[in-house]
Chain A
Amino acid sequence: SQQGEEDPQALSIQEGENATMNCSYKTSINNLQWYRQNSGRGLVHLILIRSNEREKHSGRLRVTLDTSKKSSSLLITASRAADTASYFCAHGSGNTGKLIFGQGTTLQVKP
């Protein structure tokens, strides 16, 4: 399977703390993306990092990419209770438009 792995599977933190989740993948990639899913519903795109980029920021989100290790991390700073959700990394390759999703990390932020 080309599906990537994420760790931790579950993360529970207090509001205000930072949350870090990691993703590994197996194939060469054009880009790596992170998505958020609330309560098992539709996913929402958070951020995309290209294979030639090493770090990217968007608001409270910071994403890193290490193509030599085939890994990425998502950092959410100053977490809020509303950040409680499942987070998935996904990568595409070629021009098919298809994305392969990681196993996901379930984040709980306690108020």
Chain B
Amino acid sequence: SAVISQKPSRDICQRGTSLTIQCQVDSQVTMMFWYRQQPGQSLTLIATANQGSEATYESGFVIDKFPISRPNLTFSTLTVSNMSPEDSSIYLCSVTTGEKLFFGSGTQLSVL
């Protein structure tokens, strides 16, 4: 199993600004995933972050909008850049230690 500390838990941001979300894992993991959950919707994978290489983005997501860092095997950040109200969502980081995913508690982002 893995325990993930994600912060901030929530934030209210102004249009045009950026927010960086941090995830700290209590063990070393190879793959970390960042998901977005829009209001009332399911989870959509933004990107896969592997240590030592650039993140791999899913269709519809680009690095300029969602830059990701993965400096070591226990930590990652996701930045939501130049935010608009359409970015209001819950952002979740997760890790896998095999087949199951373990999730952080999520960041609820509201953009005004």
Contact = CB atoms under 8 A, between A and B. Distances in A.
Most chain-A CB neighbours within 10 Å: which of B6, B42, B48, B101?
Answer: B42
Interface residues of A, number: 24
Contacts of A98: 33, 45, 48
Interface of B: 4, 6, 31, 33, 37, 41-45, 48, 90, 92, 94, 96, 99-106, 108
Say whether chain B's binding surface is mostly helix, strand, loop, or mixed.
Answer: strand
A100 B90 CA distance: 17
Contacts of A97: 31, 33, 48, 96
Contacts, number: 54
Given A42-B92, A97-B33, A48 B108 contact: no
Contacts of B101: 33, 35, 43, 45, 90, 99
A88 B43 contact: yes
Contact of B103 (A42, A100, A103, A104): A42
Contact of A3 (B37, B42, B103, B106): B42
Of the candidates B94, B103, B105, B108, the one having the most CB atoms from chain A within 10 angstroms of its own CB is B103
Interface of A: 3, 30-31, 33, 35, 40-45, 48, 88, 90, 92, 96-104
> What 6 pairs between A and B have smallest CB-CB spacing?
A42-B103, A101-B43, A42-B105, A97-B96, A45-B100, A43-B103
A58 to B, nearest CB: 13
A42 B48 contact: no
A96 B47 CA distance: 12
A104 B75 CA distance: 29
B94 to A, nearest CB: 8
A42 B106 contact: yes
Contacts of B102: 45
